[in-house]
A and B are shown apart, each in its own frame.
Chain A
Amino acid sequence: MLAFIIRRLLQAVLVMLAVALIAFTLFRFVGDPVNQMVGQDTTPAQRAELRESLGLNDPVPVQFARFIANAARFDFGRSYQFKQPVSDLIGSRLPATFELSFVSALFALLVGIPMGVYTGLNRTSILSKLFLTISLIGISLPTFFIGILLIFVFSVTLQWLPSFGRGEVVDLGVWTTGLLTVSGLKAIIMPAITLGLFQMTLIMRLVRSEMLEVIRADYIKFARARGLPDRIVHFRHALKNTLVPVITITGLQLGSIIAFAIITETVFQWPGMGLLFLQAVQNVDIPIMAAYLMLIAFVFVVINLIVDILYFVVDPRLRVERAVQS
């Protein structure tokens, strides 16, 4: 188990180095950083001086090594447009995105799994067909459209929920949270549903098809023959056997929820990283783009590691086989 985790960590380091290389090449090939930083009337001498001070005249491997060393300390330089350290900018935006992603993933799981179990068990009931129809809509409608639709209904027409922003936030030192105030909670409902709807339908359909498969298994028949109540047969014996693929998909989807919160954040003017990234792209703010790239890669790597460890927790067969291998 430990050997497996260490091996995975080494692989993770390799992945991060590869992503770092891509982020690094951004600086070299997407425009000249010096041009981005200076004004029209800067003399060539000043430019050369700046170039020297930024270390841009050093050999490429040296520059790459310096980039890595800085990145490891969360130092991605200063934003061209805001003239602030990138790590500060991202640090102030990160909580908003993470909270949004977390709440929408929670929504997707808490609604998707029970719906999947229900539709898997009651294939012919009218409610199942309704769920499946809704899920089809959820899968086929684009995210921004659902967001706009929600705003139209709940903010414009009914005026129940705010149409933009994060509401009041509470500052907890390194983290600012909107989950502790009423306005913050109200503000997160619609963005979270918009962002999580697709994942919810995905999880629901996945749990359903796994459930249909598992429910026919001999051990379910045997569990019934042992006289166990339906509740235990379904939620203990059947559901746990559907979990391995669900964990995989949920893990991967959580990564993409964070990475692709951009659209939802734009629709709801959510002050998160996605919005920051979009502005960075518009203004060719390479340090922010590079840092965002690295951060998302890091999130994916961490989630994958957690998913791998969860497999071990759920499925005892893996524990033994891996232990024998390593």
Chain B
Amino acid sequence: MSVPLLSVRDLHVEFPTRRGRLKAIDGVSFDLAPGEVLGMVGESGAGKSLTGAAVIGLLEPPGRIADGEIWLKGERIDNVSRKAMRQIRGRRIGMVFQDPLTSLNPLFTVGDQIVETIMTHLPVSAREARDRAVSLLEAVGIPAASKRLTAYPHQFSGGMRQRVVIALALCAEPELVIADEPTTALDVSVQAQIIDVLKELCSARGASVILITHDMGVIAETADRVAVMYSGRIAEIGPVAQVVKAPHHPYTVGLMGSIPSLTGSVDRLVQIPGSMPRLDAIPPGCAFNPRCPHAFERCRVERPEPMEMEGSRVACWLHEAGDEAQTVAEQGLAGRAGGER
């Protein structure tokens, strides 16, 4: 990998509260190559969306980056001025939000909103901006695009609105697109279409994507690499084929086991017992240890850092400990991963 497009180094995000500072993201590091699609999965509250918000500089106060660095193509962007960050947002980093029904301002036409964004970032005339808006709407698959320019958001269906949102995120040709659960609020029947549109347009423009989602299926089809997050940390990050087929971290194993499969012969879905700890009650050691079937003494006292492991990085003591522990783990994993898709 040459210079990564995006490099997040040891990111910490904190929320100061009356009872002390809550660490919502606790030491997340990853790189993103140009044109690469990185999937991010994890339960609600694992810190996926916050990582995205931190990268684009839209953390809601009082949340703030407490430590760490974010580099975009060799430039540090986590400590630049508000104005400089504003010029990066939309221009170099685009963002797609979860709910297309509420992402668009209801009182302005779709064309107004696209033209406004284009003209904020690019030195073009209103006419050129309008032409660009039409070709963008065509590119995201909106029929009769030039007519629809004067339509208001409420005149579009949910899927069409999400296409408009994608057009808006891409309208200044950003190098990175952060898609925060872009299909969660949509009908199942249009989810695949939206993902296709997003993927095609980004790869045609050479843009990298961070795809935040609950849906492992979407990740498996779309992403090059996947980061599994748990309690504000990356549990496992690696090439998508490897993480899906041969997960190393017990949490990833559980996550894969809890996905229903159409072809598989699994009788019951495996579930991970318990729930993710609250931010103010993260256990010492590995945050996953109370729910982990393989937890041993070391997991309860010492926190594992990500370790290289067959092309992936895994934060788990099982994979550093002696052969014995590893074998136990591998057996357990093999049993569970049997029902993968």
Contacts and interface: CB of A to CB of B under 8 A. Distances in A.
Contact of B117 (A218, A227, A230): A227
A222 B117 contact: no
Contact of A227 (B90, B107, B109): B90
Interface stretch (A35-43, A197-205, A310-318): A310-318
B32 interface: no
- For A217, A223, A317, the residue with the greatest tally of chain B CB atoms inside 10 Å of its CB is A223
Main secondary structure on A side of the interface with B: helix
B116 A232 contact: yes
Interface string B81-119: 000001111110011010100111111110000001100
A227 B88 contact: yes
Given A218-B102, A225-B56, A225-B169, 9 more contacts: A221-B97, A225-B95, A227-B88, A227-B89, A227-B91, A228-B86, A232-B116, A315-B107, A316-B152
Interface string B164-206: 0100110010000000000000000000000000000000000
10 closest A-B pairs by beta carbon, nearest first, are A227-B90, A218-B102, A227-B89, A225-B95, A226-B90, A316-B152, A219-B105, A222-B103, A226-B117, A317-B154
Contacts of B99: 218
A110 to B, nearest CB: 22
Nearest to A220: B105
Contacts of A241: 105-107
Nearest to A238: B105
A310 to B, nearest CB: 13
Contacts of A316: 106-107, 109, 152, 154
Q: How big is the A interface, by class? A: 20 to 34
Contacts of A223: 105
Interface residues of B, number: 31
Contacts of A314: 107
A194 to B, nearest CB: 35
A65 to B, nearest CB: 47
A218 to B, nearest CB: 4
A227 B107 CA distance: 19
Interface string A220-244: 0111111111101000010011000
Contact of B120 (A217, A221, A227): A227
Contacts, number: 79
A229 B154 CA distance: 25
B157 to A, nearest CB: 14
Nearest to A315: B107
Contacts of A222: 95, 97, 103-104, 165, 168
B114 to A, nearest CB: 9
B83 to A, nearest CB: 9
20 contacts: A218-B97, A218-B99, A218-B103, A219-B105, A222-B95, A222-B97, A224-B89, A225-B90, A225-B97, A226-B90, A226-B94, A226-B117, A226-B169, A227-B87, A227-B88, A227-B117, A228-B86, A229-B120, A315-B107, A320-B155
A316 to B, nearest CB: 4
Interface in B56-102: 56, 58, 86-91, 94-95, 97, 99, 102
B129 to A, nearest CB: 13
B121 interface: yes
Interface string A47-78: 00000000000000000000000000000000
Given A217-B102, A316-B107, A225 B58 contact: yes
Contacts of B172: 227
Given A232-B116, A241-B106, A316-B154, A221 B90 contact: no
